[in-house]
Structure 1
Amino acid sequence: MDHKRELTSVDLAALEGELAGYEGAKLDKAYLYPEDDLVRLKLRDFDRGRVEFVIEVGDVKRAHVADAAHVPDAPGRPPDFAMMLRNRLSGADLVRVEQFEFDRIIELEFDREDGSTTIVAELFGDGNVAVLDEHGEVIDCLETVRLKSRTVAPGTPYEFPSARFNPLTVGYEGFVARIEESDSDLVRTLATQLNFGGLYGEELCTRAGIDYNVAVGELTDDQFQRLYDIVDELGTRLREGNVDPRVYYETVGEDGGESDGADGDGEPDRRRVDVTPLPLEEYEGRYSETFTEFNPALDDYFYNFEREEEVEGGETQRPDFEAEIEKQKRIIQQQEQAIGDFEDDAEAEREKAELLYAHYDLVDEVLSTVRAAREDDVAWDEIEAKFDEGAERGIPAAEAVVSLDGSEGTVTLDIDGTRVTVDAAEGVEVNADELYKEAKRIEEKKEGALAAIEDTREDLEAVKQRRDEWEKEDDEGGSASEADADEPTDWLAEASIPTRSTEHWYEQFRWFHTSDGFLVIGGRDADDNEELVQKYLERGDKFFHAQAHGGPVTVLKATGPSEPAKEVDFPQSSLDQAAQFAVSYSSVWKDGRFAGDAYMVDPDQVSKTPESGEYLEKGGFAVRGDRTYFEDTPAGVGVGITCEDETRVIGGPPAAIEGQAATTIVVEPGQYAQNDIAKRLYREFRSRFADESFVRKVASPDQIQEFLPPGGSRMVDE
């Protein structure tokens, strides 16, 4: 079975009460171990003496009191984050430990004469630790988060995720109503909608004697009542600290799988796989150890589990660099999406302000009417009713009123199809000015997100460097002669590079080869789009297009033009790269956005025959049937120079180009026109190669510009 790596919401609910017993302990010193994303808080308790509290938010996500013998040695020079914690918390009293709602978030509040400080540990997603001042503003955090839904960044108010449903405190009617909102089966509903997760969703079904897969709509009143009683009992036990912790094991065979085998002493070879605050019926019959408190159980599990992972067959296991690289890439993609959202939101606020001025008299009439009515103590409901009557009589100002909110003192208007909410106590100018201010505030968040992306890219490169160093050390175990034989040519250092290239049929279009070797071609204009579909789109190929006007027809080729058509099972990496190509060379880039959507269909779904009554412009096509969507695809292009087999400029999705070129420069939407950025890339390439004449021959600014998207660009590492 899979080993537990993260605490659940149930675990934190059990911990909350147990950790409350440590309130009053004073913080002595704080440590940060960046390589593990681990924060260690060393405290002194009057009754217990030394107390070690650990928070880990990397691949393993946990927060608990640890045995002093189980904490890592103090690192050398403390990082800035650790120094900040020591400056704010040394001598401070722990006054509050609390789980946020029923989420995987735990707060530790410390008080000192000069103020209070709260540490918020996020044990979900990519994990994070944020430090807040007494006003809830972020002082510092391990990871800067700038998404449309929430922001966690130094100098900004900390934003919790949207509050999750808490099944441990809700009444019976609310419990039933929440379940009935689901259209899934019971176990999935308990796991996701009630936030129990998969294991506890199954456990609740087992205890209630209900089949996992029964549809929610088929549950009886008796089954609802049994479920609620079990959840209510669980909540009571967790709140009262009535726990019976267990560490569960699996028996391991020689092949590493679960077995009934034994070691040389006749004792079963067991490995820890889970830790829970209560015994589970799901694990009935599985070997376990009992503990009197949950903290020691967690410490035993995670300390020994990590040691078992580190030592496998007497050798240190290779860190999962690929998982960390994917994590950093995922963060960058989220940040890029957030930037696009910030731009759209800021523009929307400015448009609302301009609409107020464009319809000044109408808006002023509505606001003046509301203010006059309020001065006469007319109720908000009566004012809204008057506007409804006016709308029925065709009065334009009344027709524009969508609703009134007396609790907020606002009026929502529909102006040219856009809804704008204004403060009824203020005039048109003040309301427009507030909208402009909001647009500016959003743009400031965008600037912060841009800075955060740069930080994340640095983290990504650091992980790649650690991976390369690890692999280099592994390679050094081979013989010197083997290493010399396999040593690739360092083309950047070569004094003279011979040029060699061949003309290919697809060079009349935009093109690249995916990291899996498949050809992708795209149109540069309407004529190219027509030719691609009519001449080169064949059975087995895939047709891609951005969900934006002005995008190129993009074809992922299964075979060459002289080969017979055939069906191909394309790898997901090739599909993703073709989608990124379609987005990057569309109007998404020209508009300065960092992500967009694309779709994929089969060739027989693409036609030049329009729907009845419609007209297709040149380069346009009708697409019928179901589509496969690639949402929030990042806009990004890599431009590189190849030196083996052929010497030329190539361009396309970075993931494809970086594996084929001797050196690559990644560009993103930015401020430099096509010809200007082409010159900047040319100068950068010349600085990388010892043979500058080679760059002039194969990668002139004009040749580079052929691979750049229309619109402004900038180098990512500028």
Structure 2
Amino acid sequence: MKTRFSTLDIIAILPELKAKICTGWRVNQVYDCDHKTFLFKLNKSIVQMKKDDDPVSVDEETANKMTLIIESGLRIHTTDYDWPRSPAPGGFATKLRKCIRNKRIEDIRQVGVDRLIEMKFGSGPAANYLIIELYDRGNMILTDHEYCILAILRWRRPNQTNTQTADGETTQDDSENFKVGQAYPLSRFRIEKDLEPLTELKIVELLNNSRMILSNSQNYKKRNKARQQSNSDFLDVNLKDLLNPYVIYGSNLLEDKLLKYLVEDGHNIAKRCVIQIPKGDDGRLVSSKVERYAKLIKSAIDEAEIVLNEVRGRKKSPGYIVQKQQDTNMNDSEKPGTTKSSGETQTIKTNIDFFPIKSCAERKIQIEGANLVYQDYESFDKAVDVYYCNLESQKIDTKTLVAEKEARKKLDNLKISQEKRLEDLARTQKEDEEKARLIEINSDKVENALLIIRSMLANQVPWSDIWATIQQAKAAKDPIASLITQVKFDRNEFTMRLSDPYEDSDDESNNRKKKNDNKNSHKANGKNVDIDIGMSAYANARRFFVKRRTAVIKEKKAIEVSKKAFKNVERKTKSMLKDMIVQTNITKARKRYWFENFFWFISSDGYLVVAGRDAEQNELLVKRYMKNNDIFVHGDLHGSSTVIIKNELSIPIPPKTLTEAGAMAVCYSSAWDSKIATTSYWVYPSQVSKTAPAGEYLTLGSFMIRGKKNYLPLSNLVLGFGFLFRLDEESIERRKEIRLAREANASIADDCSTSNADKVEGSDSEGDDQIQDYENSGTDDSSSDEKPEVEVNSMETIKEDNRTPEVEEVDEDDDIELDNKITEHRLIDTLSENPLTEDILLYAIPMCGPYSALSNYKYKVKVIPGANKRGKAAKACLGMFLHDKRASTREKDLLRAMKDQDFARNIPNKVKISSANLKTLTKKKPKKSEVRLPR
């Protein structure tokens, strides 16, 4: 599996990176993922993007953002994925922040022909260079404009500087070493003009001297040692190892073109680039064969150089990812990176390599087998991003599989231990029952033995003498003494070897040929039984029966406990494995909507309402995002947020949306902390001005309102917190068809009702005209104290009369604005507050707004002023949603995958949450001592 860039990859990706990031992009921030992986957050002003004719989407806040990822020794590319970041920056990341933050990327280039990349930040004396080594263990060096080293990622030991050829072997140069304060030695790397061209004569010379040239290569020795010993009439030459130091494009393209011509010449592709050159009688290589191979090699190199020049001339190279397909049956849920096929069989695709040239990918498949396929991408940079992201995902999946195996192993061990314990209990029961039965059958012998030992104890015979007496009786072949095998002084017991005489008789009748052996079978088949001296024979038998009964009870309890314990462990294991799959460290980063940087919500009528978080955002909202058809809303008190209602359809905004926007303006103000409700008002964008009266000054985020303020009803300090879900394209289209059908049915019903109403109202047209005249006269004399419905209608009439010329001026611009409006309108339609069962959900978005706007939400809570911190309140809300019985597994997974910092961004501080399910979830559970178990 490929893990690092080759020289060809660097040559292919640098023109694309240069066209992407060297056009006015600046470094906004630097993060480190680990000790050698760094994320560069880049941004670019919208004005600069329009000057450079860059595509500007509706999401302007993210259209001017880009992420560059660099992993020392391995790779460099832009990424659309969200990579895990360290909680605090390391030393090298801190130095990068200090030196190159807010500087523009001026250039990016390859140094010489080695895997070394140089990035230039800033210009003039303030410039900095970042030198990235993508060979060996890798390194990153930050220098000033004179290449004086400022910081080094990986410190090398003194007098050990690694030098790398183009995809060749690493060598150590003891003569050169660098450290902070010294100049970085760029002269130690090769440049293209210093390389000797590979002519046909040069290739013949290399082939004739190949054995001596490759003698220092350890890899070549290992690969060819056995082959050289087995066939001394031929010399095996690995052309890739031989020619790679003399080309600048690396081994992948070289191998591709060599195999193309070698296969055409009848070469076995399974041998890769290893050719066999016959030797003559004098031990030298046959010159005719050498010359023939030299011509083939020269043709391959010429074609490779043509392809190299084509790659260099492209601004964007296509990318190809080679994947390995494996069919497997999986009972669990579908793993990331798999696709379902027929039945329960799933095809797992594992990325193993990537190329910027199609022929290289096809050659890889041709060499290694038919189970390989390739996936093409229009951009090599995109292909590399997908490859490494999936590589990380595959690592995570591997860790998950290992954890799953360990968990399954623990379950199996637990099950085995429980079964073993039950077997021991069953065996103990059987032994105790058998011992009791043997005592009953041999009760006379047991009583005689007890009588003998008791009599000696009565005569105060020491234990040692008792055992000596028993041994003497055994020697005299006493039948009772011969059954006593041991005397246990400390336990007041002795051991007898008892057998079942009836069982012996049965064996004797069935096996007449073994009559002599069966005479002493009671010794071989007997069982040692401990006899308590203080009890009679039957009392000892009863003792074993009691032990058996106790073991039966223990077995029943053990079975019940083991079942419960096994179920609990299995449930916890499955839950842990599920969490590991859901909580992966790398997820596809959705492009954040521009309005997510502000306070926002979607009104009951489907309008996007946005508010500023601070004075800077208030200024930004009015200057950048407020258009001619929008509505400006503000609370009637100092410190209120600026609220903008986005009206993309150029139709009057419903009163309910205006009221909800006014409630938002009041809640995101000082009224929330003081817990005092107040009013709000709305005006048109033409009434909002940044020009202050003479002698006055407007601070940042403050505006002058000219003309009439349209006041809204008193707003309650009540917000709602809930979640929206992003639908996939199929679900969006399905919902669209349902909505269109519903609207068509509604329009038919309206037409029918309208036609019936016209018949009834025809006779009263004069009275209606009088009523209409009265309403119009009332509208003309309306004041700000009238109902909001009347105010909105009258203001919209004024708007249509007075704003027509301004709308025409906007239309004289490019069609970008109209396209953006349509795109944004569709964007909001892709979010669902109450997903259906058949909907496919991509991710969840938290939303906080007036509670009336969340009336139809599946997941919602009421938020009012209180004393709790918003982070704690948001986590409580999330826990409540996860315990909701209506929540599907997919919805729970998406809610659980949300980042902590996204929960409480839009919730005011000092809040109190309330919900119908809150009391049920927070109800105090009874203690274990209070729970009565059934008898």
Per the normalisation by structure 1, the TM-score is 0.39
In terms of fraction of residues, the more helix-rich structure is 2
Larger radius of gyration: 2
Per the normalisation by structure 2, the TM-score is 0.31
